[in-house]
Structure 1
Amino acid sequence: MAPNASSELKIFSLAEVQQHNTPESLWMIINDKVYDLTKFAMEHPGGEEVLFEQGGQDATEPFNDVGHSSDAREMAEEYVIGRIADDERKSAKAAVGDNSKAVPWSEILLSPTWTNFLIPAGISILVYATYRTASKLLTSF
């Protein structure tokens, strides 16, 4: 049930979402949409415990911090059941902090997504440069 226009979605209050924080009924808010992840929890690649920790809350920041793939974001749309009431959107975000702040470049570059690429790439360049230097020295003798 993932209608395209957010105006078509059922509107929930923050209090309603907060009541669904158990393995039997697991809801959370991501980017002002309400998701029912009860059936998905056991399939979650990161483990169900991660979802249970965010149950009944605004999980926008943790969801975005993990760096979910576009496939994961698309798959999440299957679980949308509604959205947070307009007058409560700010309070839902305030529960986990200000999500509008700029992220420093150092944090982006050192995030697991980038470091998983940059560290091996840097090591490869260093090994290649060492090899080229050593081979030039050996051929000059």
Structure 2
Amino acid sequence: MSKYLALPLLAAVLLQPVAAAVLSPYQGSGCRYEEDVGKDGKPEGKGVWSCRDGRSYTGGFKKGRFDGKGVYTVSAGEEIFLEPFSSGSSKFRDMSLDGTFKDGFAHGKITAVKDGSPLFVMKYDRGNIVEVKLPKKAAKAK
């Protein structure tokens, strides 16, 4: 009987929600993270990472890194470099990268968007571009 009483207690401990927090600075001076953190104090789950220079990422995190579905955005004043993609990348200005990330890198399908319009669709493998295509609407217009 006592083992049946322990099950709800064990389930309650294991299913504890991750805590919400603000980590500042995080991944660089002028950058901060807000939302879910794991027991290790690193971003885990859904959150927002943003920097004064205009870079930001909203989406999934795992062990403190971009992981899962997310959107990485850069302001007009900054640049991002698309390969290999990571939080310190630079080259393209004023665009968002919408797609999937793994271990801090773009991984899988990423759509580059500027002013609300898709520019191109890329396929990444751990931060390296393996394929680039025009979006379907742009390809049909030609």
Q: Which range, TM-score by smaller chain? A: under 0.3
| Higher-RCO chain (CA-CA 8 Å, sequence separation at least 6) | 1
Answer with 1 or 2: which has the greater Rg. Answer: 1
More helix per residue: 1 or 2?
A: 1
TM-score (norm 2): 0.26
More strand per residue: 1 or 2?
A: 2
